[in-house]
Amino acid sequence: MEKPYEIVIGLEVHVQLLTRSKLFCGCSTEFGAPPNTQTCPVCIGMPGVLPVMNRHAFELALKTACALNCEIAPFTKWDRKNYYYPDLPKNYQISQYDLPFSRNGYLEIRSPEAEGGRRRIGIIRVHLEEDAGKSMHDEKAGRADSRIDLNRAGTPLLEIVTRPDLRSPTEAKVFLQELKLLLNYLGVSDCNMQEGSLRVDANINIRVNTPDGPVPTPIVEVKNMNSFRAVERALAYEAERQYQEFLQTGKRLGEVPKQTRGWDDEAEVTRPQRTKEESSDYRYFPEPDLVPVVVTEAEIARIRASLGELPAALRERLERSYGLTAYDSDVLVSQGRPVVDYFEVLAQRCGEGKLAANWVQQEVLRYLNEKQVGIESFPIPAERLAELLAMIRERTLDTRRGREVFARMLTTGETATEALAALGFVDVSDEEIHALCRKLIAENPKTVADVKAGKIKAVGGLVGQAKKINPHVDPAKVREVCLRLIGELA
């Protein structure tokens, strides 16, 4: 059945850059300090002060824009965006209006809904601006108690605006995950949504399929989404709400002003907020206290060369070089570069990418999650784990025993060979296994007949006996050899 409507989503993402000091003064940007302890005359907007641009912040911004495939402007300037709000002590925000430092980029995401499984999400512009302070309203208590913390005021902020290229709430979530991963790989932001270093607003409308063709609903800006999951849920709710409204009122574009709605995570609904400002309300004008920034071709080339291998390229290389599935490469790359580096050493040394990927995902990541530590604190170096995986790969050790050896290596710091010896595991040769299987086949004609008759499961009886006779044999190998020998009997 054809869907009754198509969803159209564009995102506006604000990301705090990982600098030690603010964008136009020397105050610290560290999160969590007591309110108003990281401020100075510049960032609290005292009269007569002069801002000076933090070159490192601009460099991180350039890095991000290059990684997002944007065109970098050779000349960019600053503008004042005027608005009156208590968290903005100057009454204007230093931002970029008509000459942002970058535009026209894209980020490709993997989307099962898109043709070819990929969708290229256009980036309209990326610009740099300063963050505002934080208002803290005591709304729950019902008192008119609002306080202000200006520690955040002046923190470098990137604003990334996408084209309305996203076609579902899930794609919006995937885009944000991909963007966050990219920014983490670049080392430009920690993208911690809880601490507010990544914030998302979304523009969404739907195109309802009617006999007269698709009819768009008015665009709604959704705010107040505090996690990627909240983004997905808020947008799913909002699309359906717009459809219901369309069915009830038949409202056409233009009849209703553009609306801003806030997501209520507990009630799981969006509610109307103040009407959205038009850019003319902000009375932008050029910032007279800052010099424009000139970026040379050489500088852009240097930045591009410094980007390193980014997530999309890395995934593809892992799939190509180690034969990994898209799922496996995605899990590994999402863990960050150090986990990928660990995997690569493991895969190269043990000689099998898929086996290495399985062990990293199942055993290594489980340990890291349990202990809440990073790969740098993992007790078994990749070279040592590779020795164990090589044994499993060559079938001198079965997977179950492999896990026991692994568990011992984790706690003792022994090598695989040492742990193996300590556990008393003995290597069983191919000849021994074959001899054992031939003996069991000769002694169990009933089982053999069953297997021949198609009851393959019956071979389990032989495997069980083999384990009893020699606990060191690999059950999988016994099973395989028995089935082959029985097949040859026929």
Which positions lie near Zn ion, rule CB under 5 A? 25, 27, 40, 42-43
- The number of residues in the chain equals 490
Q: How many CB atoms lie within 10 A of CB 94?
A: 20
Q: Which of residues 145-174 bind Mn ion (CB under 5 A)?
A: 159
From Zn ion, Mn ion, none, which one binds at residue 190 (CB under 5 to 8 Å depending on kind)?
none
From Mn ion, Zn ion, none, which one binds at residue 159 (CB under 5 to 8 Å depending on kind)?
Mn ion
Name the residue nearer to Mn ion (CB basis): 97 or 378. Answer: 97
Smallest gap from residue 320 Cβ to Mn ion (A): 39
Name the residue nearer to Mn ion (CB basis): 128 or 332. Answer: 128
Name the residue nearer to Zn ion (CB basis): 40 or 410. Answer: 40
3-state secondary structure of 12: strand
DSSP of 373-409: --GGG-SS-HHHHHHHHHHHHTTSS-HHHHHHHHHHH
Name the residue nearer to Mn ion (CB basis): 159 or 432. Answer: 159
* Strand locations in 174-286 (E): 198-210, 213-216, 220-225, 259-264, 269-272, 285-286
Name the residue nearer to Zn ion (CB basis): 81 or 90. Answer: 90
**CA-to-CA distance for 411 and 406, rounded, in angstroms?**
9
Inter-helix orientation angle 459-469/445-452, to 10°: 140
From Zn ion, Mn ion, none, which one binds at residue 181 (CB under 5 to 8 Å depending on kind)?
none
3-state secondary structure of 161: strand
Q: Which of residues 239-268 bind Mn ion (CB under 5 A)?
A: none
Instruction: Based on the shown chain and the rule CB under 5 A, indicate whether residue 71 belongs to the binding site for Mn ion.
Output: no
DSSP state of 360: I
Size of interface with Mn ion, in residues (CB under 5 A): 1
Q: Please give the distance of CA 176 from its chain centroid, rounded to a whole number.
A: 7
Instruction: Based on the shown chain and the rule CB under 5 A, indicate whether residue 352 belongs to the binding site for Mn ion.
Output: no
Instruction: Based on the shown chain and the rule CB under 5 A, indicate whether residue 59 belongs to the binding site for Mn ion.
Output: no
Smallest gap from residue 284 Cβ to Mn ion (A): 12
Name the residue nearer to Zn ion (CB basis): 44 or 410. Answer: 44
Instruction: Based on the shown chain and the rule CB under 5 A, indicate whether residue 87 belongs to the binding site for Mn ion.
Output: no
From Zn ion, Mn ion, none, which one binds at residue 43 (CB under 5 to 8 Å depending on kind)?
Zn ion
From Zn ion, Mn ion, none, which one binds at residue 25 (CB under 5 to 8 Å depending on kind)?
Zn ion
List, in order, residues 6 or more apart from 361 with CB less than 8 Å away. 328, 331, 332
β partners of residue 71: 103
Name the residue nearer to Mn ion (CB basis): 12 or 108. Answer: 12
List, in order, residues 6 or more apart from 287 with CB less than 8 Å away. 77, 78, 79, 80, 94
Smallest gap from residue 302 Cβ to Mn ion (A): 28
From Mn ion, Zn ion, none, which one binds at residue 166 (CB under 5 to 8 Å depending on kind)?
none
User: Hey, CA dihedral for 326, 331, 336, 341, is it positive or negative?
Assistant: negative
Tell me the HSE value of 104 on the side-chain side, using a 13 A CA sphere: 4
DSSP state of 115: G
Q: How many CB atoms lie within 10 A of CB 422?
A: 12
Instruction: Based on the shown chain and the rule CB under 5 A, indicate whether residue 418 belongs to the binding site for Mn ion.
Output: no
Smallest gap from residue 17 Cβ to Zn ion (A): 16
Smallest gap from residue 89 Cβ to Zn ion (A): 11
Smallest gap from residue 194 Cβ to Zn ion (A): 24
Pattern 212-231, Mn ion, x by CB under 5 A: --------------------
Name the residue nearer to Mn ion (CB basis): 64 or 168. Answer: 64
Smallest gap from residue 161 Cβ to Mn ion (A): 9
Q: Can you give the binding site for Mn ion, defined by CB under 5 A?
A: 159
